[in-house]
Structure 1
Amino acid sequence: MFNLWSVSMRYIFISPHLDDAVLSCGGIIHFLVNKGHQVDIWTIFSGDPEDENYSDFAKNLHKRWKLENQNPSFARRREDKNACHILGAKFKHFPYQDCIYRKYENGMSIIQNEEDLFQKISGNQIVIIDKISNSLKKRIPHNSMIVSPFGIGNHIDHQIVKSSIIKLQHPYLWFYADFPYVLKNNQEYMSDFPINYDQEEFEITENSMKLWQIAVSSYTSQISTFWSGDKEMFSQIEEYAKKGGGNKLWKKLDIN
């Protein structure tokens, strides 16, 4: 039986934000590194804010993250470097801004509240898709394996990244389930095959599981987004894995 990891390739995991790929695929990433593959994590929305004219929503996030007195993006990039080091992956940080810092043509922040994070792509946000796609096209080696988020949960930045990658029409494109958004959405991405997709399953060892959890704990500022602390995060990742989550990738089947 052919395994996705049986042929030596470079694996590039595309992460919308500075934590998504590690949250979703930390166990798989360490597994691949352990098999001797080069694994990269490329984060798209990791650039510095254009200015400090933040929305109230962004200011409240900075306060919760305990990053209100420093450049939040710089601090988060530092967290990501630590997480990648733990898993043995290389990193690349792109200059695009997180949606909480972006504005419409009229200067209004596109994100005013929690619900806005899950809006449809519209207005000047649509052109970002082509910008990211063109940027990736110049940098992605043709014979590398690209691993994209599915966009489960419909976070606008995840939607933009997925759309950008699909436009590439890369020959080796796989998808991962966006954790922890997948817990509140479609359970088929944990235990069953999504319709019209091929599935590849990875063996997540106890060591890979532990390093996955430790790597996620590197994102100190982001733990409060989903959990009360590291203990709850460790427990949820372990429970997710026991139910079949975090160990699969999917490839769209060609259906004529």
Structure 2
Amino acid sequence: MSLILAVSPHLDDAALSASGQLRGFVSRGDTVEVVTLFAGVPQPPYSAPAVFMHELWGLTEDPVERRRAEDRCAHRQLGTRVEHADFLDELYRRAPDGDWLVRDDWKRAEDTGGDEQELRAALTAHVYGLLTSRRPDLVVTCAAVGRHVDHRRTRDAVLAAAPVAGVPVRFWEDLPYAEWTSRFPPLPQWAAVGPSAVEPVDDQAWEIKLSAVQCYASQHRMLWPEDGQDWRAVMDAHAKSVGREYGDGRHDRRGERFWDVLVDPSRLAANAAPPHGFEADLYDPILRPSLRRS
């Protein structure tokens, strides 16, 4: 029996992207712990974008506490343990100049150079503490497909901590971003990803996944904004498009996509800190083959 640690950026990401495989781990007898990093409870006043999102979610009072309750509901469906860290979502963070990280015009402070170095160090230290205290057999986290800043911060913290802790890393394909893009930020020069791996999700696991995603009712309008859009059908179509890559000729198989991270120890030793441009808006050449769609 193994211990699997899933490190999720937000309250819903692990369930949206990887709950089929997480449920598979549970079914075979493994223990799965899901830690959400950006689950801190903010204090008012809120930024204008945060107020807008609270209204969109229908959560104008205690929004994060209520989202935490949704997350606990989802992980009860999956049979996974849940833990919420206290780092604030980008909606609630401030930039070094004191303004909101997400400005009233929805532009982000990092577009003008705010790189949140202290936050990145704190996230890495937190993840390293999780890995060294719990000694998981595997850590699963997001690839940051879509390049959301909180997903990048999460992925990079895991990448910085896991090789030092000696824990293998697997990335999941971030949903719903993967429904319209395959882009994710480059890796540091000491890391690469193997070929994309499709993990089948059987009918029973799929129904459990849908039950888990249903728990995040506050997020549905944001995740699937088109009027009359059937979120189950959207998820089903993507899962079947991934499942067809499994290679057995079936067109009804559902799947989730993952990448195993490959670490070059010699380069890691020579690059104790991520190189300049770690988060540049570029494809690293080493990623291109694994991002091709068949």
Could you tell me which residue of structure 2 aligns to residue 18 of structure 1? 11
Counterparts of 2:122 and 2:167, CA distance in 1: 20
Q: How has the CA–CA distance of structure 1 residues 252 and 139 changed in structure 2, closer, same or farther, with 3 Å as cutoff?
A: closer
User: 1:222: how far off?
Assistant: 0.5
What does residue range 1-256 of structure 1 map to in structure 2 within 5 Å? 8-49=1-42, 51-68=43-60, 70-112=61-103, 116=107, 122-123=113-114, 125-140=116-131, 141-168=134-161, 169=163, 170-186=166-182, 196-228=193-225, 232-244=230-242, 246-254=255-263
Q: What CA deviation, in whole Å up to 9, does each residue of 1:89-117 have, x standing for no partner?
A: 10010000010000013321111268546
| Kept in 2: contact 1:198–1:252 (CA 8 A) | no
Larger relative CO (CA 8 A, sep 6+): 1 or 2?
1
Uncovered stretches (5+) of structure 2, i.e. residues with no partner: 185-191, 244-254, 267-294
SS in structure 1 opposite 2:7? strand
Uncovered stretches (5+) of structure 1, i.e. residues with no partner: 1-7, 189-194
Q: Which amino acid aligns with 1:179?
A: L
Q: How has the CA–CA distance of structure 1 residues 205 and 160 changed in structure 2, closer, same or farther, with 3 Å as cutoff?
A: same
Aligned length: 241
Counterparts of 2:175 and 2:141, CA distance in 1: 13
| Kept in 1: contact 2:193–2:259 (CA 8 A) | no
User: 1:230: how far off?
Assistant: 9.4
| TM-score in terms of structure 1 length | 0.86
User: 1:85: how far off?
Assistant: 0.3
**Bigger CA drift: 25-34 or 121-130?**
121-130
Counterparts of 1:179 and 1:173, CA distance in 2: 19
Percent identical pairs in the alignment equals: 24
Cα RMSD of the aligned pairs, angstroms, is 2.5
Structure having the higher Rg: 2
Counterparts of 1:177 and 1:61, CA distance in 2: 24
| TM-score in terms of structure 2 length | 0.75
Q: How has the CA–CA distance of structure 1 residues 161 and 118 changed in structure 2, closer, same or farther, with 3 Å as cutoff?
A: farther
SS in structure 2 opposite 1:244? helix
Counterparts of 2:228 and 2:16, CA distance in 1: 13
User: 1:9: how far off?
Assistant: 1.4
| Kept in 2: contact 1:23–1:216 (CA 8 A) | yes
